[in-house]
Amino acid sequence: MKKSITIIGGSVAGLTSALILASAKGENLDFDITIIDEGKGDLRAAAIYNAPMFPQGALANDIYAQIKSQIDSLIKVRYISGKAESVSGSKGGFVTKGAGFDEVKSDYVIFATGAGAFDIKGFEEFVRPHTLIPRPNKVRLEWSGRQELKPGAYVAGIASGVTSMVTTAMGSASEAACAILSDIAGTVAYHHDTPTSRK
Ligand SMILES: Cc1cc2nc3c(=O)[nH]c(=O)nc-3n(C[C@H](O)[C@H](O)[C@H](O)COP(=O)(O)OP(=O)(O)OC[C@H]3O[C@@H](n4cnc5c(N)ncnc54)[C@H](O)[C@@H]3O)c2cc1C
C-alpha cells in the first residue's frame, strides 16, 4: 500500500514528520512524500543550545541538512520551494496549489507552517491566536483528537500551539506523523527500531 503525504512547511517540524513517516516504510507500506517550503522558518533566526543531541549552537541550515540526510537514507522525498496557497478536497484526495509549482495531490496533508501569518485557502477557519507566543500576529491552528484539523489533515510544530521550542515542535511533528500511521493502520501505530532491525 502506498500513501501520499503533502507536508506544508519544511523547517524542523515538517522534516521531523517526514522522517517519522519515512522510518515506517516497510514491505507493505510505502510513502510518496512532498514537502513544500517557503523557507521563512523561525529556526533561521536561532542558534540552538538547548535541544538534546544537537551540536551546541546548531544553525538552521545544518539542522535541515542533517534531518534531510536521515530522510534520504530511508525514502526519496520531493522538495518544492514555494508557497502553498490553497488546499482543497478531502482525505484521500487533497489538492495543494501554490505559486511556482504544479498542483500536488495527496491522501493526507500536514500543516507545519510555523506561527507566522496563515493564509492558506481552505483552512483559514482553523486559525487562532497563538497564546504561548505572546507577540502580535502569532497564530496556531485549532485541532482536535490527535492534531487533526479535519479527516486526513493534521497540524505539526508550533503551528499546533505548542511552546516555541525546537524540541516541542519536533514532538508535535512526531505525534502528527504517528496519527497518520494510526489512521492508515486503523489502530494505534508507530515504528520502533532495535539495534539489529536495520542490519
Ligand atoms: C530569534 C529566535 C531564537 C530562537 N531560539 C531558540 C532556541 O534557542 N531554542 C529553541 O528550542 N527554539 C528557539 N527558537 C524557536 C524555534 O526556532 C521554533 O520553535 C521552531 O523553529 C519551530 O519549528 P516549526 O517547524 O514549527 O516552525 P518554523 O521553523 O517557523 O517553520 C515553518 C516553515 O513553514 C513554512 N511555511 C509557512 N507557510 C507556508 C506556506 N503557505 N507554504 C510553504 N511554506 C510555508 C515557513 O516558510 C517555514 O519554513 C527561536 C526562535 C527565534 C525566532
pLDDT for 77:
98
Residue 113 and residue 35: Cα distance in Å, rounded? Answer: 11
Which atom of ligand 1 has the smallest separation from the CA of 13? 25
**Residue 93 CA, ligand 1 centroid: distance in Å:** 28
Residue 68 and residue 70: Cα distance in Å, rounded? Answer: 5
CA-angle at 129, arms to 126 and 135, nearest 5°: 150
pLDDT for 27:
87
Say which DSSP state 144 is in.
B
**Contact predicate 162/169, CB 8 Å:** yes
- 8 backbone dihedrals φ, ψ, rounded to 5°: -100, 115
**Residue 41 CA, ligand 1 centroid: distance in Å:** 4
pLDDT for 45:
97
Does the beta carbon of 37 sit less than 6 angstroms from any atom of ligand 1?
yes
C-alpha cell at 104: 500536488
Mean pLDDT of the chain: 97
Q: Which amino acid is at 167?
A: T
Q: Mark the ranges of the chain whose per-residue pLDDT is less than 50.
A: none
- 124 backbone dihedrals φ, ψ, rounded to 5°: -60, -30
